[in-house]
Chains A and B, each alone.
Chain A
Amino acid sequence: EDKVVQSPLSLVVHEGDTVTLNCSYEVTNFRSLLWYKQEKKAPTFLFMLTSSGIEKKSGRLSSILDKKELSSILNITATQTGDSAIYLCAVKTSYDKVIFGPGTSLSVIP
């Protein structure tokens, strides 16, 4: 059975801290790994990773995929209260089916 696991499930940090969110997967026919941010609405897309070892970066957020370890990390540096959200990791398999992890709930306190 295809599975995506995230850790930690929840995290509370202070503004300015750096956080690392983890995602690991066990799937057949891996195609890509996706990160989403979800606030009080539908998820919004952050990154898609298909190749191992290549970092994707957007402002203070960055992510990298390790296909050997079947995992990915999402880093957020200099966190702000606006980063508070649920971060979802998902893996796309054949037929473009996407399996989501449970999410990491991040709270950034001033």
Chain B
Amino acid sequence: DVKVTQSSRYLVKRTGEKVFLECVQDMDHENMFWYRQDPGLGLRLIYFSYDVKMKEKGDIPEGYSVSREKKERFSLILESASTNQTSMYLCASSWTSGGGVAQYFGPGTRLLVL
């Protein structure tokens, strides 16, 4: 079974703090993704990576950065957390397929920024 894990299920941080969210997958997937999910807005892509050290901006990259130093690990960094970054963060991974493979999601991290 594919397993995607995220470092924390719940996090509470203060405005201005630097926040690290980590995602690890155990299926040797090339692609990894970070989304945030907010009521009424659905899942929005923040960043994705299709190879080690490669990254691509998604739809809402502002205020975020990412790091992929190893194939199995994809980190999302909030350089200076703000209250509007309070959200559910979901990590996902998939093989490179040309279209034929689904994404697998981690359990999510619910982040509250005070």
* A residues at B contact (CB < 8 Å): 31-32, 34, 41-45, 48, 50, 88, 90, 92, 95-103
User: What chain B residues lie within 8 Å of A43 (beta carbons)?
Assistant: 43, 90, 105
Given A42-B90, A96-B94, also A50-B100 (CB < 8 A): yes
Q: Tell me, in angstroms, the Cα distance from A44 to B41 when the chains sit together.
A: 18
A103 touches B102 (CB 8 A): no
B43 touches A96 (CB 8 A): no
| B107 contacts partner chain A, Cβ-Cβ < 8 Å | yes
Contact with A along B91-114 (1 / 0, CB 8 A): 010101111111111111000000
B106 touches A42 (CB 8 A): yes
| B28 contacts partner chain A, Cβ-Cβ < 8 Å | no
A102 touches B41 (CB 8 A): yes
User: What chain B residues lie within 8 Å of A31 (beta carbons)?
Assistant: 97-99
User: What chain B residues lie within 8 Å of A100 (beta carbons)?
Assistant: 35, 42-45
Contact with A along B14-51 (1 / 0, CB 8 A): 00000000000000000101010000111111001010
B99 touches A45 (CB 8 A): no
